[in-house]
A = this chain, B = another copy of it.
Amino acid sequence: MAKFVYLFKEGRADMKALLGGKGANLAEMTNIGLPVPPGMTITTEACTEYYRLDRKLPEGVMAEVQRNLTVIEEQAGKKFGDLSNPLLVSVRSGAMFSMPGMMDTILNLGLNEATVQSVAKNTNNLRFAYDAYRRFIQMFSDVVLEIPKYEFEDILHNQKDKQGVKYDQELSPESLRKIIDEYKKLVLSRTGNPFPENPLEQLEMSIEAVFRSWNNDRAIIYRNLNKIDHDLGTAVNIQSMVFGNMGNDSGTGVAFTRNPSTGENVLYGEFLTNAQGEDVVAGIRTPRPIAQLQEEMPEVYNEFVRIARLLESHYKNMQDIEFTIERGRLYILQTRNGKRTAQASVRVAFELAQEGLITKEQAILLVDPGQLDQLLHRQIDSSIEVSVLAKGLPASPGAASGQVVFDADEAERLGKTGKKVLLVRTETTPDDIHGIVAAQGILTSRGGMTSHAAVVARGMGKPCVCGCEAIRIDYVKEEFTIGATVIKKGELVSIDGATGRVIQGQVPMKDPEISAEYTTLLQWADEIKRLAVRANADTPEDAKKAREFGATGIGLVRTEHMFMGQDRLPFVQKMILAETLEMRQEALAHLLPMQEGDFYGILQVMEGFPVTIRLLDPPLHEFLPSVEELLVETTELRITARDAALLEEKLQLLKKVRSLHEFNPMLGHRGCRLGITFPEVYEMQMQAIFNATARLTKEGCKVLPEVEIPLTIDVNEMKFFKKKIDAIAESTMKAFAIRFHYSVGSMIEMPRACVMAGELAEVCDFLSFGTNDLTQTTFGFSRDDAEGKFLPHYLESKILKENPFIAIDRKGVGALMEMAVERGRKIKPAIEIGICGEHGGEPSSVAFCHKIGLNYVSCSPYRVPIARLAAAQAAISEGEIIGTR
C-alpha cells in the first residue's frame, strides 16, 4: 500500500508532485532546521485515489493521519482535543502548481466547547478564544459544510448593530458567545446535524473537503486557463497552530532580512508582544521596530538573527519572514523572497555577492531588469497621494509636470523663457518637433505606442502619455476637458509616462540616482553576457547618452527624424513636391550638407563602435499636411470665397497629398521602395554618410558606418542598392584620397525577408530585425489600430497570452526569426545579426534573441542597462556560465 501521509521532516523540496508546492516548501524549511510548527502532508496520490474511488477517502489514510498526529503532538507538547493544552491545527490545500484562491484555509481546527475554554485560560483572553472559535465555525461551515458565508456574516452584523459597535474587535466575549450559539443553530438547521465537536471528525471532514475543492468550478476554470492537468490532484497540509498571545513571553511579527526600500543590510520589520497576526492587521496596537525585540527577548532575537542569516544563505536572497513566539519559543510561519524597490534590489544583489553568499551570476539573476527603468527616470514620489484625472497609454517612461500648452510654437517660446511646459495635442506631427524638444513631457489624446509622439519622446527619453481618449481638446478655447473637469492653458498638470497617469497639479518627484552598486552590477553583466547591446539614436546627443548607458554601438539611426527638423522640413517638402528630377535634386542639394553634419556628429561620438544608419523609411506623405486639414481649409476658402489664389494653391497641394494618399501606409510606398522609385534621395544619403566617414577618417577618428536598407523583401533590392553604395563609397574614397571601412545590410521586417534571408545573406554584411513591423505583418495587426480596438480583448480573453508588441511572440514571429537566422548563417556563417526597436529592450525578448544566437540587441538609450542585465541573465540561465564566488 502506498504511503499517503508524510511528516514535514520526511519530505523534500523536490517532492512537489507528490506533496504539492506548499508541502514541499514546509518540508524544506523543516529540514534546514527552522523552527516550523510541526505538521504533515497528505499526498496528491491520496487525492487522485479519492477520485478513483468515486470520492471516497482511500483506506488507511485516516489511520496514517492519526499515527502522524501523535508525533506532532509530541513535538508541540500539546494534544488534539486535550483539555489543558489542546493542539489546534490549520488545514490547507496545496497542489503542484500554485492555484491562488482555489480553497480557503481552515484555521484553529480542534476547537470545540471544551478546548475553547482551555485556550481562553492559556491566553488569558476569553475574547480571543471565542473569536477564534467563531471564525473556525464560520470557515469550516463555508468550506466543509458549504453553507453560504453571507448567512454567518448576517448574524455577525446583527450582533454588531445590536451592540452598537463598528469593528469585530469591539465585540465583548458575551456578544461573541451569542454569535457562536447562533452560528451553531444555523448549522443545525441547514445540515440537520449539530456542529461537529469531535476534533478528529472535524479533521476528516476537512480533508475530504480539500479533495472535493480540487474539482470546484473556480479550480477547473483556473486550470483550464493555465493549462494545468486536471488529473494532478491536490495535497492537504495539516499544521499545528501556534499562539503569540499566550502572555508577555509570546508575540508575533514580520521582518525582512534587509531594508526592502534601501537594501541596507539590517533586519527590518516589526513585532507585537502578546498578540496574534490579526492584531497587527487590525491596527489597534502599534507594532514596535524589530530592533527592540533584542531588549525584550534577547535569546529569541538572537535566534531570529541566526535564522535570518540561515535563510538568506539557504535561499540566496533577501527574505520576508513571518514569525510567532509562543511562550518564549520562536516559530517561523512563512518565509519568501522579499519584495523590494529597484534601488534595494540592486544593492541587495551586489552586497550578497560581496558577502560571498552568492556568485556574481546569482547576483545578476536577483535583479528584475524591468525594474532598472525606475532608476533612470524621474519618478513621482510614491509616498504622496495624487489626483489621477485619466489614464492613457504609457508611451515613454518618466514623470513630468508643467503648464499646459496646446501649440508647439508657444511651447518653444515659453520654454526659452525658462517655463516648464507640458505639450498637449490631439496627435503630434513632424511640425511639432521643436515644441516637443522644449516641453517637459507630451500628452496626446490619440495615437498608439508607435505614434509620432511616442516614438519621438522615447528617443529623447522624455515622458509621454499617448492616446488618452478621455481628454477632449478644444484648441479654440485653449483648454481640455476630462469629464466635468476643465484644464485651461497655463494650468499645472503632471504625467507619469511609466503608468499612463494624467495628474492634476504639480507633483513632488524624485530624481534618478545611479549608485556604485548599480554600476558594478552592470559591469559584471557586461563580463558575462554574450549579446552586444547597442542603442537607437538619431542625434549626437542621443549617441552620447547611449554611451553613458553602456551601449557599444548604435543599432539604428533613423535618418527621417533628421528630415523633420524645422530647418529641413521646407526642403524635404520641396523635394517631395518637385515636378522634375532637377527640382528634386536642387532640394536634395540643400539637405546633403545637413545630413552629412548629422552623420558626422553621431559617428564622431561613437568612435570605435559600429553605427547602423538606416536610409529613409517612412512614406513621403508624413512630411506633408494631412488631407483632412486641407479639406477643411479648402472647403472654408471655397464657401467664403475669400482668397481665390490661396484656394487654388491649397487645392494643388491637396491634389498632391491625395496622390500620395495610401489605403494602408504601413504596407505602402515607404522604406527602400522609395529608394527604388526615387533613387536620388537614397543617393544623397549615401553620399552624406561617406562624406562624413571620409572627413572623420582623415581626422584620425576610427568610424564604422553600417548602411542599412529598410523594408527589403528580395535580394534584388539589395543588389540594386549595394551597387550604388559601393560606387559612391569608392568615388568618395578617391575624392578624399583615403580608404575607410563600411558595411551594407538589410533590415528584416517583412515575413518574406525572413524566408529569403539566405539569398539576402549573399549580398549583406549584416541583417537587423525590425520586429515591430515584423510583428505587424506576421499577425496582420496594425499596432496603432490593434492596441486601441481589439488587442485588449485578445489579451483579456487570453486568446493571446502576451502583447506581441511588448514581448516577442516566440511561436509565430520568433519562428520566422529563427528561420531567418538559420538560413542567413547557412550561407554566411559570420554574418552579423541583430535586432533594433522596442523588443530589443524588453527582458524576455532579449532572452529570446540570445537563445536564437543574435549578435546584438539595440534599444532606446534608456533601456540599454535593462538589455545589458537581461542579456547577462540569458547567458547565465542558458548554463553557459559557471558561477564563481
Contact = CB atoms under 8 A, between A and B. Distances in A.
Contacts of A794: 673, 676
A773 interface: yes
Contact of A664 (B635, B640, B664): B664
Contacts of A776: 667
Interface in A796-824: 797-800, 809, 811-813, 815-816
A321 B660 CA distance: 52
A790 B669 contact: yes
A756 B752 CA distance: 16
A789 interface: yes
A325 to B, nearest CB: 50
A465 to B, nearest CB: 19
A631 interface: yes
A664 B789 CA distance: 13
Contacts of A673: 789-790, 794
Given A755-B811, A812-B755, A716 B799 contact: yes
Nearest to A790: B673
A784 B632 contact: no
A785 B755 contact: no
A782 B668 contact: yes
Contacts of A750: 778-780
B790 A752 contact: no
A781 B628 contact: no
A193 interface: no
Interface string A767-790: 000000100111111101110011
A475 interface: no
A663 interface: yes
A714 interface: yes
A531 interface: no
A813 B714 CA distance: 12
A737 to B, nearest CB: 31
Contacts of A756: 811-812
A357 to B, nearest CB: 43
A323 B799 CA distance: 73
Interface string A740-754: 000000000111100
A717 interface: yes
Contact of A816 (B639, B662, B751, B784): B751
Nearest to A667: B782
Interface centre among A632, A676, A780 (most CB of B within 10 A): A780
What is the interface of chain A mostly: helix, strand, loop, or mixed? helix
A791 to B, nearest CB: 9
Nearest to A780: B750
A666 interface: yes
Nearest to A809: B752
Nearest to A749: B780
A301 B713 CA distance: 59
Nearest to A814: B755
A780 B777 contact: yes
Interface string A609-632: 000000000000000000110011
B752 A779 contact: yes
Interface string A650-672: 00000000000011111111000
A677 B711 contact: no
A736 interface: no
A639 B717 CA distance: 51
A676 B778 contact: no
Interface string A707-731: 0000101101100100000000000
Contacts of A799: 676, 714, 716-717, 720
A640 B639 CA distance: 8
A531 to B, nearest CB: 24
Contact of A635 (B636, B666, B668, B800): B636
A793 interface: yes
A666 B669 contact: no
Contacts of A676: 790, 793-794, 797, 799
In the complex, the 10 A-B pairs of residues with the closest C-beta atoms, listed nearest first: A667-B782, A664-B782, A752-B812, A751-B751, A750-B780, A668-B785, A716-B799, A635-B635, A664-B664, A664-B666
14 contacts: A631-B631, A635-B635, A663-B785, A664-B784, A666-B780, A669-B790, A676-B790, A713-B779, A717-B799, A749-B780, A752-B778, A752-B809, A755-B815, A756-B811
Given A669-B789, A677-B789, A716-B799, 11 more contacts: A631-B635, A632-B635, A636-B639, A664-B666, A668-B789, A669-B785, A676-B793, A713-B781, A751-B780, A752-B780, A755-B815
